[in-house]
Structure 1
Amino acid sequence: MLIYSYMVFIFMYFVGLLVMCLKCSHLLLMLLSLEFIVLSLFLGMGVFVLGLLYESYFMMIFLSLSVCEGALGLSILVSLVRMYGNDYFNSFNILW
């Protein structure tokens, strides 16, 4: 049962990386795939911690830091949408 959980974790991680590499021009999809990667890392850490009966306090710290990272990413996205009108990388004047 533990092997299947690790396989699901690895599959989720690589699907998140694949989506992040394929949708690199759309900022919202990049943020969603980044959150999916963080969620898969949380799942992998949970399987590892619960499988070896370690202390699960670090998981709460990781979860709170990932929530702060998601809120910061969304606030940057909202400010970019307010400045430029959309969230495509191709239309930003900063990158030219």
Structure 2
Amino acid sequence: MLMFMFMLLMFISGLSVFIMKRDHLLLMLLSLEFIVISLYLIFVFHLKMMNYEFFFSMIFLTMSVCEGVLGLSILVSIIRIHGNDNILTFSSLW
């Protein structure tokens, strides 16, 4: 039970960082990855407690890696166009 509470605290702290640091894209991506890691730990912990197979956890990891790569490619393209990752300086009318 203590382990589940720790994983839930990880998820809530990642979510709070995501909400508080919404002006920089890199910090948002890092907090999203932290949320994905905490969800993966909760998922594996639940599968282990219920004696299920871990095959679906590999699919979850594959999708989370694809999400991370997509976020990094968007970050690189935004930095190349605008020069920084500050979301407040973007203009949608250019």
Tell me whether 1:43 sits opposite 2:27 in the alignment.
Answer: no
Percent identity at matched positions? 52
Q: Which runs of 5+ in 2 are unaligned?
A: none
Structure 2 counterpart of 1:87: 85
CA RMSD of aligned residues (A): 1.3
1:37 is matched by which residue type in structure 2? I
Aligned equivalents of 1:95, 1:44: Cα separation in 2: 42
TM-score (normalised: structure 2): 0.96
Structure 1 counterpart of 2:54: 56
Aligned equivalents of 1:4, 1:64: Cα separation in 2: 28
Structure 2 counterpart of 1:11: 9
How far 1:94 moved relative to its partner?
1.7
How far 1:29 moved relative to its partner?
0.2
Aligned equivalents of 1:43, 1:91: Cα separation in 2: 36
Describe the SS at the equivalent of 1:25: coil
TM-score (normalised: structure 1): 0.94
Runs of 4+, deviation exceeding 6 Å:
none
Q: Deviations over 1:47-68 (max 9, x none)?
A: 0001111011000000000000
How far 1:90 moved relative to its partner?
1.1
Describe the SS at the equivalent of 2:85: coil
Describe the SS at the equivalent of 2:59: helix
Structure 2 counterpart of 1:33: 31
